Amino acid sequence: MKRNLILLAIMVLCIPAFVGCDSDDPVAKTCELSAGDRPTVEIDITFTATSTGDGEITQLTYIVAGEETVVSNPNLPWEIDVLIPAETDFSISANGSTTNGSITVAYSGTAISYEISGSDSCSHEND
């Protein structure tokens, strides 16, 4: 009888250790996004940043001809139009996270018969 009580006490004391191993806390995914190109003609480019669910961007950067512009904690959706000279490198990048959603950075533009676009995205869902 005494032995059964000791075993029962040990089992009761061990239950929290096993229960504590199971976590339903959602896990956030850290995202680093980047997209860019080099047009052959002068073109107006629209840079955009969007999110779904709880996706958020903490820092967004766009670079044109080596000139960097940084936007901290942009309100999403975010958008800006920039004139890109011919044969000039440009890019858009972002750092952010999501637990249940997505974030996306993109660019697009058209000049006469020339079209250019690109994007990068990150998504995550917890069950």
> Is 49 within the bounds of a domain?
yes
The whole domain housing 108 covers 27-124
Tokens of 7: 């075993």
In a domain, 43, yes or no: yes
- pLDDT tens-digit profile of 59-113? 999 999 999 999 999 999 999 999 999 999 999 999 999 999 999 999 999 998 9
The band of 126, judged by pLDDT with boundaries at 50, 70 and 90, is confident
Helical H runs in the chain?
A: 2-19
CA–CA gap between residue 116 and residue 103 (Å, rounded): 21
Q: What is this structure's pTM?
A: 0.80
> Any idea what the CATH number is for the domain that residue 37 is in?
2.60.40.740
Token pair recorded at residue 54 = 């709880």
User: Is 7 contained in some domain?
Assistant: no
Residue range 20-27: mean pLDDT, rounded: 67
pLDDT at 56: 97
pLDDT of residue 35: 98
- Nearest Cα to Cα of residue 73 among 52, 87, 55, 85: 55
In a domain, 70, yes or no: yes
- Does residue 94 form part of some domain? yes
Residue 115, φ and ψ in degrees, nearest 5: -125, 145
Confidence band of 49 (pLDDT split at 50, 70, 90): very high
Establish if 82 belongs to a structural domain: yes
Question: What is the overall mean pLDDT for the chain?
Answer: 89
State in Å, rounded, how far the first CA of the chain is from the last one: 45
- Domain presence at residue 99: yes
In total, how many domains does the chain have?
Answer: 1
- Domain assignment of residue 13, yes or no: no
